[in-house]
Amino acid sequence: MRFVSRLHLCAIATIVMIFYFTWVHQSDYFESKVQAMWQGNTHRIVVFGNDWSDTRSYRVSSPASSEIAPRDIDRGEVWVETLCKELQCDAVDNFARSIPSDADTVHVGSLIDSILYEQAKGAESNGIQMTTDFKTQVRQFLTYDKGRRHIPRRFRKVENEWTVFTVFFGLWELMEYSSLEKQYAMLAIENSIEKLFQNLDVLAAEVDFPLKVVVPRMVDVTILPRFQSTKNATQEQFAETQHLLVFLWSYWNTVLLQTATQWAKGQAIVPDPNTLIVEQVRVGQLHSKQISDASGTGKQAPLFQYVEQPCLASKPNDGAPGLQTAAVEKCEDPSQHLFWDDIHLSGNVNRLIGEQAASLIRENQTVNIEAMQGSANTQESKTTEGANFGLRFPPGY
């Protein structure tokens, strides 16, 4: 009986040792995998926005495959991908969303806040499908980012980590709000920009690192082929809409820049892509007339040969009228086009935007230095006041 008991004890001890060494091996394997995964992802770009920022690669809540338009290699990269290369980041965490490619209903692209859109448009918003807005994108990121916080600090190169957020909205707001009366469109823009920075406040409160945000100003939407195609309407109507849209575009950028300048919850970098595009158009115009300005602009060959015609253009089939019979014709050299299609900028334009944003980041060209310094001074003043505060008792105590 004693022999059997000893045999049982030896067997149990052997089993326990096997389980222990197996657990240690698996734990070491898991830790090494986590460490390898995180060490390769210490520098990242987190992307919020609409069709102009969407890389079509998703961290969470990926759309159905039928809703994701395949990427054409000739289109080139999105500006945030160029930004990643310029800053030598390890990953692009994309939360931006595009209008579904198979949409059979009326869709509106990603907005800052869908509820604001419904309030501004009223009955006009009935039956319109919404794409994921900024508020939802931020919520998705925060849920996703919780996993990073659970990774032990010993696996992370904490001293080398950095995150740059990009927030690019305004395309669909301007296209949609141009149908409103001017005063209501202006109010919708003010409310949208306010919501944008409220969501940035949420980010600043939730993340465990200083916020650095790239918030590009909008491009003049009247130069887009989609808007230019409406010239078939009456000349007077087209001119009125164009005049209003140019005003709203300018107003959007003004409110955005003013609000960014006053924001104190993180570093705000505000590129101006429109200046890049206008400059390229101007170079082409001067070069075509064989003239140049005092700075020599116009002497060099333009970067884009086609500044109005997109690379992808609809071409109705002969003898078969109707939109459903329209075919898409692709250009021979996409690099020579300012636009990829009627709404998207070409790869070369995206490259210029990404390079401009990267240059501003490297030079630390933030627009809200004074606001951040004022906030820091206020906090320091409060701390000093509290430290110097002393309770004085009346005489006799």
Among residues 46, 30, 27, which one has the least CA distance to residue 38? 30
Taking the alpha carbons at both ends of the chain, their separation in whole angstroms is 83
**Which residues of the chain fall below pLDDT 70?**
1-11, 13-41, 102-105, 149-159, 233, 292-298, 316-326, 376-397
Chain mean pLDDT for the chain: 83
CATH of 40-269+348-366, one of 1.25.40, 3.30.70, 3.40.50, 1.10.287: 3.40.50
Token pair of 369 as six digits: 């230095």
pLDDT at residue 285, rounded to an integer: 76
Question: Alpha carbon of 345 to those of 45, 113, 159, 173: distances in Å?
Answer: 21, 24, 37, 17
List, for residues 120-177, the tens digit of each pLDDT value: 999 887 778 899 999 999 999 999 998 776 666 665 555 678 999 999 999 999 999 9
pLDDT at residue 34, rounded to an integer: 42
Among residues 144, 106, 74, 118, which one has the least CA distance to residue 331? 74
Among residues 102, 87, 101, 11, which one has the least CA distance to residue 56? 101
Query: What's phi and psi for 337, nearest 5 deg?
Result: -110, 140
pLDDT at residue 254, rounded to an integer: 98
Q: Tell me the chain's radius of gyration from C-alpha atoms.
A: 28
| Spans of all domains in the chain | 40-269+348-366
pLDDT at residue 227, rounded to an integer: 94
What pTM was estimated for this model as a whole? 0.81
pLDDT at residue 378, rounded to an integer: 59
List, for residues 251-262, the tens digit of each pLDDT value: 999 999 999 999
Confirm if 340 and 347 have CB atoms less than 8 A apart: yes
